[in-house]
Amino acid sequence: MKISRIFFTILLVIVCMLALTVFVRWAANRDSTELIPQPSNVEYIRWELPKGAKARLGKGSINAIKFSPDGKRFAVATTIGVWMYDAQTGTEISIFKGDRQNIKAVTFSPDGSLLIGVNSAGGILQWNEDTGELRAAFVNEKSRHLTSAVFSVDGTKLYSVGGVNDKKIHVRDIGDHTTSPIFSEIELGFDFKGGYNTFIALSSDRRFLAVTSPEIQDRSFLIHVCDAVTGKLLYDLTEPTNGWLRDLAFSPDSKTLAACNYESIYLWEVDSATPQATFKAPGTGFSVLAFSPNGKLLASGCRDGSVRLWNTTAKQQGVGGKIGQYLPTLMLKKHKSEVFTLAFSPDGKMLLSGSYDGTIRAWDTTTGKQHFTCREHLDGISDIATPKGENTLTSIDTMHTQIRHWDIDKGHQLSVSYLGFNSSEKISPNATTLAMHDLSERKLRLWDILNRRFKTNLKGHGYSSRPLNPVFAFSLDEKMLASASMGNYIRIIHLWDIGEPPRSFLKRFFFNFKTIRPQWTLEGHRGVILALAFSPDRRTLASAGDGVTIYLWDLETFSTRLTLTGHKEGSRKLVFSPDGRTLASRGYKEIYLWDVATGGLLRTLSTEAGIGTFQFSPDGKVLVAYGVDGIIQLWDVRTGQRMSSHKGHTRLIKDFVFSADGKTLASASEDGTILLWDWEKIAQVKN
């Protein structure tokens, strides 16, 4: 063999190895970032705001989607109310009026003049479809909680299931929509218990009601098909037996029942309970089902972000006459996360799909072409931060690791990064770094938000990989990270030096992200550690947990400097004042203010409801606190007097942050919205 050929072969091998290295590095640092163009009209961010708020980022998490009878509009039931969209363009028309509520399901009156919704407490609301004005609201005192609900096709009846151990089906007869609903209950002819994993489906002719019953021990479900009037059990369907059920759906002619678990879709003939078909798409993970109006298509939303359309009329059989696997007629792939809700237009030509990526996408059911995208329906927000010197906001979605950037002044989303995995995380004060427990890899990692890549693996902490459940805290200068584990009894706090300069391109290329170990440890905290906080000067770390003692650690000697006693119960939240002289800690119904120098209790702020998160104002004079009753309270730190109260979110507030100029308070909530409050206005309001 010639020398030149040998040299060429060696060079080719080297090039291939380098290409493989690039691919592996890319896969390990997977990230998909989408830049969002500014909408032509962002007026919707100021619709139906609470008093004192100047904008709303996000539109609330999707619960259900429903087309109007003429197909020209569609309503989206969310955790903050009902949004109405134009079905041709996907443009926002209105958010319906009234108090912000978690609306679980919606339907239209047959003539399309009214929209009827049910809230999470089981109350019935009626709006004028054209104006969005609330026409009537009816409350059932017996029903305090609702987990699953379905309207009849004609919109005259609502069937719902309550919370855990609710053994009845609750029925609301809405009639002609001009009188108060008649509330009744159906006693089911079998041992039934409601809850979050319970699904119900009603046949179009209102003869059959299908409900699920989880068998927790073997992670399987029974499907009970019963008489929708009497509750008498007609028969049980024991498939699927290899996984929890995700959804149920009757065909429009009431002749077919479809059910799906993660692996398969099953179809049965309703009258005879005879299996008709089994659909499979390995690795996709079925989540939700919907029949087209003529019953010829079955749409399935999947955990991999895809939507599949199946032909339910084909009579296909496998080897030996067994029921075969149908093939999808269309596969629609644009979503970045699980698709969990679907809705066909009345003519069946359009399909809407809602995803945990925060979007609703409109598809042509014949060609698969996407018509438009509706954005900002976020599935909760867990953490927010403001980059230093910028009037922007960075947020982290609650359940799915998605990083979003917002323009506070213009009030729109700038970009979203989909990291492609689930984790628990903490964002750094200046929104440059994300500390996370990567649930897929069971590792502690740091994600570089600015460069959109992993930059550090955290090893040597000694936490068990399974019950990790870490708690994190960043120093204000972002040079130090503290971590502890809530999931086990290793009562050690680990301190990490994360302020090292970035490595060169070649080191990153050949060695991927670096691995570091804790530089210091703090030992002596008694009990499970649930909260950590650095003082602004990084000289002190506070730790608290299920015990009644708070520890202040000297970070020069790495020993306990003070212990704070006086809590009635443990604490899950710690915040230092901007000058570092005061520490706030959370009890159940109290916030304790401590003198950091002496360890003395300065005062206690008491509330009637339980306390969630809280934050000091930039000047340290006001404490902003959230109560589990949904009310934001402002407290004068010096006097301990409550200044004002504000309500705007429908679910728990997870975080507060002030804008760089101090003029805006942002509150992030599990309801999928961030409210931007005019600080100068709400700080002046007195109760």
Give pLDDT, residue 321: 39
Q: Which band of pLDDT confidence, cut at 50, 70 and 90, is reported for residue 326? A: low
Comparing CA positions, the residue from 326, 372, 370, 364 lying closest to residue 348 is: 364
Give residue-wise pLDDT tens across range 69-83: 999 999 999 999 999
For residue 550, being part of any structural domain is answered with: yes
Q: Which band of pLDDT confidence, cut at 50, 70 and 90, is reported for residue 8? A: low
CA distance 366 to 363: 9
331, pLDDT greater than 70: yes
Give pLDDT, residue 16: 53
Give residue-wise pLDDT tens across range 608-619: 778 889 999 999
Structure-token pair, residue 251: 């065909």
CA distance 117 to 109: 11
Q: What is the mean pLDDT of residues 344-357?
A: 97
CA distance 216 to 219: 5
CA-based R_g, the chain, Å: 27
For residue 117, being part of any structural domain is answered with: yes
Q: Please, is 256 exposed, middle or buried when counting C-beta atoms within 10 Å of its C-beta (0-12, 13-18, 19+)?
A: buried
For residue 133, being part of any structural domain is answered with: yes
Instruction: With beta carbons less than 8 A apart as the criterion, state whether 120 and 101 touch.
Output: yes
CA distance 348 to 339: 19
Give pLDDT, residue 312: 86
Q: Who has greater pLDDT, 643 or 322?
A: 643
Give pLDDT, residue 164: 65
Provide the CATH number for the domain around residue 176.
2.130.10.10
For residue 146, being part of any structural domain is answered with: yes
Domain hosting residue 531, numbered range: 390-617
For residue 566, being part of any structural domain is answered with: yes
Instruction: With beta carbons less than 8 A apart as the criterion, state whether 558 and 500 touch.
Output: no
Last residue of a domain, one of 567, 600, 617: 617
Q: What is the mean pLDDT of residues 173-201?
A: 81
Give pLDDT, residue 192: 76
For residue 517, being part of any structural domain is answered with: yes
Last residue of a domain, one of 617, 640, 658: 617
DSSP 475-526: -TTSSEEEEEESSS---EEEEEE--PPPPPHHHHHHH-SEEE--SEEEE---
Give residue-wise pLDDT tens across range 425-473: 799 999 999 998 876 666 788 999 988 888 899 988 877 655 567 899 9
Total domains, the chain: 2
CA distance 268 to 143: 33
For residue 69, being part of any structural domain is answered with: yes
Contacts for 178 with CB less than 8 Å, ≥ 6 apart: none
For residue 275, being part of any structural domain is answered with: no
Contacts for 276 with CB less than 8 Å, ≥ 6 apart: 256, 267, 268, 269, 323
Q: What is the mean pLDDT of residues 52-56?
A: 96
Q: Which band of pLDDT confidence, cut at 50, 70 and 90, is reported for residue 596? A: very high
Q: What is the mean pLDDT of residues 252-270?
A: 93
Give pLDDT, residue 364: 96
Give residue-wise pLDDT tens across range 152-179: 998 899 998 887 677 788 899 988 777 7
Structure-token pair, residue 33: 């970032």
The pTM (predicted TM-score) of the whole model is: 0.90
Give pLDDT, residue 290: 98
Give pLDDT, residue 23: 40
Give pLDDT, residue 498: 94
Give pLDDT, residue 86: 98
Give pLDDT, residue 566: 85
Classified as helix, coil or strand, 40 is: coil
What average pLDDT does the structure give for the chain?
86
Last residue of a domain, one of 589, 617, 645: 617
